[in-house]
Amino acid sequence: MRNRLIHSSWWVLSLVFGSIYGTAMTLYSLVAESGGVASSALGGLVGGVIFGAFMGPVTARQARRQRSAIGDISPHQVSAVMRASRRGPVPVDPELRAAALRAATHQLDANLRQRTFGSVLFAALTVASIVFVADSPWWLLATGIFLALLAGQWLTPRTIRHRIKLLTSSRDEILHRDDS
């Protein structure tokens, strides 16, 4: 699904993210907060519209930048390039390897640009969720999620740098590594 989203328009992304968020908030309100069906659905709808209106354009802009970084490759190769930029065997095809390297380099740059803001945001959300644990044990789940996202701000660049190193390996090194 992630690779399909890279080609989606902002309004499709808004619908996707808004629907997921709205449904999750409706279910949360029904189960954890014991809200009524009508009020839960209304809250989920309003929350979904607001979340979708924000996330759709932001994600579309990020996808445009990612497509631009990848370069001119055929649409059916996008999945292979995006996968190769994250994991799996390094492509032997120099064009795909170069596109995967551009994608990984772009991702590293984006992660490093956002790291300070992301770290402050997820640290603040972690502290807030710890404070709210007294109100509901569901905040323990939120605390775990925010801690994982905070850790990701610092661990992800290291992983991407390792992948970039693999993608810049020579063809002979790749073939030798595959034989082992």
The sign one gets for the Cα dihedral 96, 97, 100, 105 is: negative
How far apart CA 6 and CA 61 sit, in angstroms, is 10
Q: Are 125 and 139 in contact (CB under 8 A)?
A: no
In percent, the amount of the chain with pLDDT more than 90 equals 67
pLDDT at residue 180 in the model: 47
Type and span of the H or E element at 168: none
Whole-angstrom CA distances from 120 to 42, 115, 117, 147 are: 31, 9, 5, 12
**pLDDT band at residue 175 using 50, 70 and 90 as cut-offs:** low
How far apart CA 67 and CA 77 sit, in angstroms, is 12
How far apart CA 23 and CA 36 sit, in angstroms, is 15
pLDDT tens, 120-158?
A: 999 999 999 999 888 888 889 999 999 999 999 999 999
* Residue 167 CB neighbour total at 10 angstroms: 22
Determine which of 25-34, 95-104, 108-117 has the lowest per-residue pLDDT on average.
25-34
**pLDDT band at residue 179 using 50, 70 and 90 as cut-offs:** very low
When pLDDT is averaged across residues 158-177 and rounded to a whole number, the result is: 79
pLDDT at residue 51 in the model: 94
Q: Are 126 and 150 in contact (CB under 8 A)?
A: yes
